[in-house]
Amino acid sequence: FASRSSVKEKARRRVLDFDVGDKFSRLPLPKASVLLPLMVREGKLHLLLTVRSMQLRRSPGEVCFPGGKSEAADKDEIDTALREAKEEVGLQPEKVEVICRLVPGIDKMNHLVTPVVGFIEDTFQATPNPAEVSDVFVVPLEYFVQPVNYKALPYENSSGYLRWMHCFTYYDHEHNRSFKIWGLTAHFALFLALIIFGKQPTFDVDYDLDNLFSSSENNFMNLYVSLHKRKKSNL
């Protein structure tokens, strides 16, 4: 296996090139953050994901990253992501080596969702808060560019345009079950995999892979502008 530190270092350097800092923080949308927890297992990068509790009103049973809405006491999007990860899976903030923030997304409630990338130890034992999380599992990051089970689903985005949504089905041998990863969660996982591996996935994506950073920002700004226009026309 490649040494853990070399795998981490290479990934860290690539991800840092895509750091947006607080560039989008002042957009007038309600804020939320998710933590994309990376770990190295057997020389390969993996992502930790959660399954939302069936008791939750919104999106029960769906796969997502630890995260949620920002609160008044949060200093920034990183604070929000770390606080939520602690509340949901018992991940202590000091156990996360935060790398950076990536280009945000907009969820179906029109929240500006910022993905925060951080490394955690592969020995981390999650203690899910049953009110919020029913399960925790890990997926090799490479699965998001070379999936065994993938389909693109048509959907209408928040600004009324028909788009394609990535949907990955991952069979986890540890849990002996399949997990469906789609929506914004799949979008962030795929983007992180594209950054780190820098290769064409086995399916079509709406990025210019030679100019991934600028095309991801353009995609986001187009979505934001069209949402803004639609809000205005609904007034």
Determine the pLDDT at residue 159. Answer: 62
Measure the CA–CA gap between 180 and 84, rounded to whole angstroms: 22
Determine the pLDDT at residue 1. Answer: 59
Of the candidates 198, 235, 192, the one whose C-alpha atom is nearest the C-alpha of residue 99 is 192
Map out the domains of the chain as residue ranges: 4-234
- Tell me, yes or no, if the pTM score tops 0.85: yes
Higher-confidence residue of 190 and 156: namely 190
Determine the pLDDT at residue 201. Answer: 96
Please check the confidence at residue 92 and state whether its pLDDT lies above 80: yes
pLDDT band at residue 148, thresholds of 50, 70 and 90?
very high
Residue 235, classed as helix, strand or coil, is coil
Q: What are the b/e assignments for 38-53, b being 16+ CB within 10 Å?
A: bbbeeeebbbbbbbbb
Mean pLDDT of 145-160: 85
Higher-confidence residue of 196 and 162: namely 196
Mean pLDDT of 20-44: 96
pLDDT, tens digit (0-9, with 9 covering 90-100), for 103-119: 999 998 899 999 999 99
Determine the pLDDT at residue 235. Answer: 57
Mean pLDDT of 16-43: 96
Question: Of how many residues is the chain composed?
Answer: 235
Mean pLDDT of 177-193: 97
Q: What are the CB-based long-range contacts (under 8 Å, 24+) for 208-212?
A: 212/18
Q: Exposed, middle or buried by CB within 10 Å (0-12, 13-18, 19+), for 57? A: exposed
Domain covering 4-234 in this structure, CATH number: 3.90.79.10
pLDDT band at residue 157, thresholds of 50, 70 and 90?
low
Please check the confidence at residue 85 and state whether its pLDDT lies above 60: yes
